[in-house]
Amino acid sequence: MKKSNQAKASKHENGVDYISNMPDPILQLILQGLPTTEEVVRTSVLSTRWRYLWTSIPYFPSLDLDCYRTALTPSLKFPKKKFKDFVTWCLANRTVDLDSLRLCCASYYRYSTVNGWIKEAVNRNAKSLDLKFDHKSECFSDFDFPEWLVTCDTLEVLRLNLYCRAPLNLARCTELRFRALRVLELNNVYCRNINAIELFLRMSPLLEELTLIHCWLRVSGRDRILSPKLKTLIIRNWKKIISGEGFWRGVSVSCPELMSFEFNCAFEREVLIIENINSLKKAVILPNNKMQRMISYDMGDEICKVLAKISHVESLSVNLYFIQCIDAARDWRGYFPASFLNLKTLEVTTTIDAFTMNVIIRILRCSIWSLSIWSFKRNI
């Protein structure tokens, strides 16, 4: 009892709350040390002095609002009404610009509710939006991409995850242009529009980084990634490739400023056509056999052609299937690169056996003067 009285006296000596009476910069520094948005916001219940203090933190990087993380049990979601009130309240202060918003609200709410929150963030000049949501009781209805999101002057980063259940519709925005967007990530997005990636690239003249993960892309012919400023391109979508008419059947890449390229997809004939990536420094090519296609001479020739187009890179990562295809090539001497003059790092995820070593030795012989690091990863 004596100890608790001493603690109480140190906090409110003579009825004075010394912590709350500290200058704003010191209190803001305390809040910056808290690990999550939820913990920072909880300080608002301490007193009226603290109620909106967290919203004025000059270097507070983001609002990170996750309906799973805010629950007491990680596997459970936060109560629907409480989470809605919490998000609305966090976005209420319009006097302070918002650097970034990460919002994960699962399938709690209708589009109208989520759109309202996104618009609040845009109205506060958000630079980065990371949005993960599904729509409640509107199964397979389109998510119409908002026009005001495209015309936002400050938006530089957009990451969108729609769980592949809500078709993304760009019909209202095809003639508009993002004014500052440099990073775009589409994760589990089903694009309603034909050639949606080409539309996004046309709408994003400043885009430098594009990531496509498990997306359904409808195309007429081959999807073309043509961008004069793109520096990073990541494509991981083998789980959602459908060979039926009208769906994604391959991609051609022509990006003269591209420096990093990752391709992790089911591989088939002419699925990847490389036209112009002369600035490329790092390539991660991880084709897979998820479509249960047999390794063939033709597939080997295709892989060799791809390797020839990226033979100028400094860092190369490949996998077992890549090696198997090269070993099966009909005319590997005709397609295999004559040299890897710039190669400094080679990473191979594979087993160790005779045909694997044959291909690796070919690569090493072509890059012996420049290669400084090479490693194996065990294939599991």
Contacting residues for 218 by C-beta, under 8 A, at least 6 apart? 191, 192, 193, 194, 195, 196, 246, 247, 248
Phi, psi for 27 (deg, rounded to 5) = -65, -40
Q: What per-residue confidence (pLDDT) applies to 1?
A: 43
Low-confidence ranges of the chain (pLDDT < 50): 1-12, 71-72, 239-246, 292
pLDDT given at position 239: 47
Closest CA to 57 of 74, 37, 81, 32: 32
The rounded distance, in Å, linking the Cα atoms of 87 and 79 is: 12
CA dihedral sign of residues 43, 44, 50, 53 = positive
H or E element, residue 216: strand 216-217
Helix H or strand E segment including 101: strand 100-106
pLDDT at position 74 is: 52
52 φ, ψ to 5°? -115, 10
Q: What is the H or E stretch that residue 42 is in?
A: helix 37-42
Both tokens assigned to 147: 């026009």
Q: Name residues whose C-beta falls within 8 Å of residue 85's C-beta, 6 or more positions apart in sequence.
A: none
pLDDT at res. 243? 41
Contact call for residues 350 and 319 (beta carbons, < 8 A): yes
What's the rounded Cα separation, in Å, for the pair 239 and 271?
15
**46 vs 39: CA distance, rounded Å:** 12
Max Cα distance, the chain (Å) = 89
Non-local (6+) Cβ contacts of 166 within 8 A are 134, 135, 138, 140, 141, 142, 143, 190
Lookup: tokens for 240: 């959602």
Q: Please name the residue that has the structure tokens 């109480």.
A: 8
The pTM score is 0.81
- Is 266 strand, coil or helix? strand
Q: Can you give the residue ranges of every domain in the chain?
A: 24-60, 62-315
| pLDDT tens profile 15-47 | 556 677 777 777 777 777 676 666 776 666 566
**Cβ pair 158, 129 in contact under 8 A:** yes
**Coil, helix or strand at residue 111:** helix
- Rounded to an integer, what distance in angstroms lies between the CA atom of residue 238 and that of residue 289? 9
Residues 140, 165 contacting (CB under 8 angstroms): yes
